[in-house]
Structure 1
């Protein structure tokens, strides 16, 4: 199962190039996948919620029920962006249903992770390997990046309906709003290019396809409400990040992803972290940017999951 990850600036369109590769047996493996790639509620052509309260944990319940209704009593889950947060909630709430968890944006948010991250700011070698330290530190660079690039998050988490009205009224405004993230989140230095480096890895057709999923379905406002629900006090009080999950996990970390956390931090939430693939290329939209790379990693991860189950309990279907 591929949880469409989503966020404001992702859609099922990101997986179009990867899905045919996942459903086809790859060299060296004796399996392939039946892929379920749902849009999040309020994204694309999936109906939005009619009342408050639909945060990532509740979306994970919807997706678990979807898989059950489709006949998948046990399944694998993959996610990036919102998909990583929803997948994390899913493997926390329903660990018995998930055979393996793969993510290309692993993020652990709990007290221990925060303390370790701060400690590493003073002694990086205690937290992260030296050749990867620049992906985390100095923290001042990371916080400067957050201040410069995450204004959209604050707006969508506090005033989703207000900014949503403006974007619903202007196709060119919506295009600019979305493409700006495809520029900067692919490579940070693309902000200095006159054309934003948009065609560095993406075609105009791919970018417009993605735009049209939001424009034709008039879903930009309902998609933004997920940010407000995630940051609501009721959702934050669940503290799902504090609860470890036994589900075997594998991560792939692109060089230009928004943030990096090493295995020592990720294992605070995912103690059965079986592997971490650290790339020297790729950005936030990895499935669209480098589909063969992420597909190769998913096959590698699932092979590890299958072997893990054989060595532990007989849970594999």
Structure 2
């Protein structure tokens, strides 16, 4: 072998060895970061802040003049551009259907607002101050525990553009289901900056930092161990709580199973060549073809890029603009429920939801003026400090459950999930439903969650 050949071979061996080394370095599990459990997010200096740990019960009442002002805005004449011929929701919210939503909102929803207000206040609502922020949450607690049932606390976590309203049809199943041997004391917080929860006055309140706030909330309420169920941002926050505070979590259940690390991408690519080896028969189309799934994510992620870079700009456009707010938010409830609904002139919005339910959610954003602060979470989760804490590589060892709803925006294989969730004990597939499972299919999600709880109880002799 000539000198040049030997040198080339040696260089190749070094390159391969270095590549293997770097791959292992980039994919091996890392230790959990240590976070400040008292990080201050309120206005002004922490030195001037003394935390009031009082829990305050809240009652809903929106003054008539606020509703009258909204009605006046909805009474305006709107000169929308007509949708293109043959187009449903492919270009965004169909303006013909938008006129119907405006009319319903003005002429049927607002006249019964006091009934909707009572409905929104049907569960006990509270606020308390944590780390400088006023945090809102729903909390159901038994005065007398139901006989013959095991009672567990559960933390339910929503995302964007949702709210605590998403769980209203699931809460009674958890609290009052006579057919179940389990009952739950339910805590449903509004994320900081969402609904009635105060937004941060300082940059840096990412999903990782919110983890600490909600851990502190549960501890304040007296729950040292609890279940978690979450979707959208609730997936990341719930996963982080289970990862960073494993001693506090009985089990973590998600209806969106994501894994975005390098190793996950490699495994998904390998599985795409032999799907039947990695996916239960009949569910291959949840994951493949990859090109189709990537195309859908690319088409539907424009909002994320705006909110991750200029949340205050789009927030200013939507503030005091109820029609724009409704179009911007409701379009997500169409496309993320089923991408094929884009072909429909009404976006399929009333296939899984009622207009009353959808407008309840819009009203929460409108009445609390929280659209801008809610969108800032995307920017806070996209900065360098978050990327320096790669939570994807910190293993989660608590019992984990994954419920996949076919039309959600993304799914991860069990093979990939197990690198992150080492104790994945529950994995299911549902051929109906999409991103907003608690809102659109509460009974299905409840049943899946209960199956997971049963497995955890047996596994840990609870």
TM range (shorter): over 0.9
Partner of 1:22: 174
- Alpha-carbon distance, 1:126 to partner: 4.5
SS in 2 for 1:10: coil
Tell me the secondary structure at the aligned position of residue 186 of structure 2: coil
For the 8 Å contact 2:297–2:409, the answer to whether it is kept is no
Q: Which runs of 5+ in 1 are unaligned?
A: 311-315
Aligned to 1:271: 422
Residue 3 of structure 1 and its aligned partner are, at CA, apart by 3.3
Q: Could you say which residue in structure 2 is the equivalent of 1:46?
A: 197
Cα distance, 1:129 vs. partner? 3.6
User: Equivalent of 2:453, from 299, 302, 305?
Assistant: 302
Work out the CA distance in 2 between the residues paired with 1:39 and 1:236.
Answer: 25
RMSD of aligned residue pairs (Cα, Å) = 1.3
Name which of 371, 375, 383 aligns with 1:224: 375
- Distance, in Å, in 2 between the alignment partners of 1:222 and 1:53 is 13
Compute the displacement of 1:252 (Å): 1.0
Q: Give, in angstroms, the shift of residue 144 of structure 1.
A: 1.0
**Rg larger in 1 or in 2?**
2
SS of structure 2 residue aligned to 1:37:
strand
**Alignment partner for residue 290 of structure 1, among 424, 428, 441?**
441
Are residues 239 and 91 of structure 1, via their aligned partners in 2, closer, same or farther at CA, if it must alter by over 3 Å?
same
For residue 213 of structure 2, give the secondary structure of its aligned residue in structure 1: helix
Paired residue secondary structure (2:265): helix
Please, which runs of 5 or more residues in structure 2 have no aligned partner? 1-153
Q: Which residue of 1 aligns with 2:301?
A: 150
Q: Does 1:3 align with 2:156?
A: yes
Residue 136 (structure 1) aligns with? 287
Alpha-carbon separation, structure 1, partners of 2:435 and 2:316: 26
SS in structure 1 at match of 2:352 = coil
Q: Deviations over 1:191-216 (max 9, x none)?
A: 11111111111111001000011000
Q: Secondary structure at the match of 1:105?
A: coil
Partners in 2 of 1:5 and 1:51 — Cα distance? Answer: 22
Aligned to 2:345: 194
1:313 is aligned to: none
Maintained 8 Å contact 1:185/1:283: yes
> Per the alignment, in what secondary structure is the counterpart of residue 131 of structure 1?
coil
Q: Number of matched residues?
A: 309
CA displacement 1:76-112 (0-9 Å, x = unmatched) = 1110000001011111100111010111011122221
- CA offsets 1:108-149 (integer angstroms, 9 cap, x no match): 222211211122233334543452222222221112111211
Asked if the contact 1:104–1:254 (Cα under 8 Å) also holds between the matched residues in 2, the reply is yes
SS of 1:73 mapped into structure 2 = coil
| Contact persistence 1:167–1:220 (CA under 8 A) | yes
Question: Residue 400 of structure 2 aligns with which residue?
Answer: 249
Compared with structure 1, are the counterparts of its residues 126 and 111 closer, same or farther at alpha carbon in structure 2 (3 Å cutoff)? Answer: farther
Map of 1:107 onto structure 2: 258
The corresponding residue for 1:181 is 332
Query: TM-score with structure 1 length normalisation?
Result: 0.94
TM-score when scaled to structure 2? 0.65
CA contact (8 A) 1:60 1:90 kept: yes
Equivalent residues of 2:194, 2:370 under 8 A apart: yes
Q: Deviations over 1:198-243 (max 9, x none)?
A: 1111111001000011000000000001011111111011001001
Quote the Cα distance in structure 1 between the aligned partners of 2:269 and 2:233. 25
Q: How does 1:74-89 map to 2 (within 5 A)?
A: 74-89=225-240
Contact 2:320 2:366 in 1 (8 A): no
**1:260 paired residue among 388, 411, 414:** 411
Contact 2:156–2:186 (CA<8 Å) still a contact in 1? no
